[in-house]
Chain A
Amino acid sequence: MKKTKLENWLFGFLFAVIFAAGNAWSAQDEINNSGFAWKDGAEIYAKVCAYCHEAQVGHEVQVGPQIRHRKLPITYIRTVVRNGNRAMPSFRSSEIDDESLEKLANFLSQK
């Protein structure tokens, strides 16, 4: 069936609306395009590990064992972080990527 002028106009209008909607959303999406990434091992330790593995300021208790300055082998750290251990949750590469995990392991073994 041949399209009427009205149908053509409607199609054009709808297309414009959809296109405009797409643009409006894209504009908002561009506010901040960079996702989060860890800066270094010290940051991961402070923002994840230390909450349990170090006594916190203000009389909070230490939940897990100390992990800094113990010369823990890097492979051991990697294994425990990835697999978890009893109450210790596992951490996925999407949370702490492999490269950052190496940096964390190095940070933990520093004096």
Chain B
Amino acid sequence: MTSQYIALPKGVSEETFDAAIHDFRKVLGDASVLTSAEQLAPYIKTMMPVSDAEHTPSAALLATTVEQIQKIVAICNQYKVPIWMISTGKNLGYGSAAPAERGQVVLDLKRMNRILEVDKDLAFALVEPGVTYQQLYDHIKEHKLGLWLSMPAPSAIAGPVGNTLDRGVGYTPYGEQFLFACGMEVVLANGEVLRTGMGSMPNSNTWQVFKWGYGPYLDGIFTQSNYGIVTKFGFWLMPEPPAFKPFVIQYQHEEDIVEIVETIRPLRISGVIPNAVVIAHALYEAPVKAKRSDYVSGPGSIPDEAVYRIMKDHKLGIWNVYAALYGTQEQIDVNWSIVTQAFSQSGKAKILTEQEAADDPAFVYRAKLMRGDMTLTEFSLYNWRGGGGSMWFAPVSQARGSETLKQMALTKQILAKHGLDYSGEFIVGMRDMHHIVDVLYDKTDPEQTKAAYQCFDELLTEFSARGYGTYRVNTAFMDKVAETYGPVQRNVHKTLKKALDPNGILAPGKSGIR
């Protein structure tokens, strides 16, 4: 007999699943329990180089209230049905809206989309998981609140809850998003509702202003995790500065990354440059201006000679350092003088501001990201190879020039071995760098797809062998990355999982935790 479902959860019979679906429908209504192939199609498309069948959900549940979610986890516990939680569900290049394992039920919280509070004076927001950056951006504009968002490049269609819970990065002074998170509401696997930090205290009005509460700090265990379902999320917003000065500094040689990082680090640590600076390779910026096919054809990675032609034709550096100053004009003037002095010493840097670069499409979208405006221009990356294949390789580096050069060279070498290009950038924290590389490939080409998988696997193996850890990864490689952090951490994660979710109903496999 053929199944009426397109997939089933691991170890759950169709009869049991039927009963669970019946109960889900009682809670949510028929229209909010999706099981047909047509309804589930949007949950299946990923950019990963694995078969969609490996990540096909059995159903999707569209919940809108905490009470519904409490009832859903009770049903999941009863029938041992696993759920995979998503908020805005984009997560492009990390697994999109598809579950980590075939047959998991997607708990889709996109319709739980209320902006509960935005406080102009204390500059914080409290939102539900389905709120997008666009929605919040419009709310702030409409109410003239004078606050800026920090968001990742898929800005408009992504949201602060999912992005911060996965420890994503933005480009303003609040770019390390989780540093600015403050207070969560979490539905636990047993149905209890936890409010973290000051939120645990009845009548407290400090939930979104003081992170730590009392006792062990818990918010961290609900990020990149499967210990609970975050249903409300507080975070801080940046007051709009009186003045803003974006700039780009270009360098011509790959080895110059050493000078760039050594120059920027003290400026970042001391706060002269306050935002999450980006050091983008020419091939990260090129898709905004150039077509790959105009410079190279056939298989293999793009040769350096072609990259230099692109740089020359499109006024790009091999490294393009995007940063900005924020504050009063007086503050900016002082800091600009410090920045230009620091970068002028070797004579290698070309410094451009809005005056010179206002017409440059790469500069325009980077400036938007650094002031929290909506733009999806970075999606130009997907046109580079075409075919919809993308995985973010995201190792962490020290903010030390020699280290970034080593990481760049190793990444480029492994990518080239598999015929892929180095589309990389470093996002500068104070002492660390998020080295972000878009492993782009044509998913409609089986050979390239296979190469992309092998390449990504090798990148993880080689980097971890040298002590370079990955901070975030797509759902196809979560177990592998979890393994690189060693058995003790895995054991602690597992112990917490058993304590908080003994039936393993919440997103099994997330960050390799089951």
Contact = CB atoms under 8 A, between A and B. Distances in A.
Interface in B55-87: 60, 62, 64
Given A47-B156, A59-B359, A59-B360, A95 B45 contact: no
Contact of A63 (B383, B386, B387): B383
A29 B199 CA distance: 13
Given A86-B386, A87-B388, A56 B375 contact: yes
B386 A87 contact: yes
Interface stretch (B36-44, B218-226, B447-455): B36-44
A25 B193 CA distance: 11
Interface in A25-83: 25, 28-29, 31-36, 47-48, 51-52, 56, 58-61, 63-64, 82-83
B402 to A, nearest CB: 35
Nearest to B31: A93
Q: Report the interface size class on chain A.
A: 35 or more
Contacts of B217: none
A63 B202 contact: no
Contact of B110 (A20, A60, A90, A95): A95
11 contacts: A35-B113, A36-B113, A48-B156, A51-B374, A56-B375, A59-B360, A60-B377, A87-B382, A90-B43, A94-B60, A95-B110
A32 B390 CA distance: 38
B134 A89 contact: no
B115 interface: yes
Interface stretch (B89-97, B171-179, B408-416, B418-426): B89-97
B45 A92 contact: no
A24 B358 contact: no
Interface of B: 34, 38-39, 41-45, 60, 62, 64, 88-90, 92, 96-97, 108, 110-117, 128, 130-131, 134-135, 138, 156-157, 195, 202-203, 288-289, 358-361, 364-365, 368, 374-377, 379-380, 382-383, 386-388, 390, 443-444
Contact of A61 (B92, B114, B377, B382): B377
A10 interface: no
B90 A86 contact: no
B310 to A, nearest CB: 15
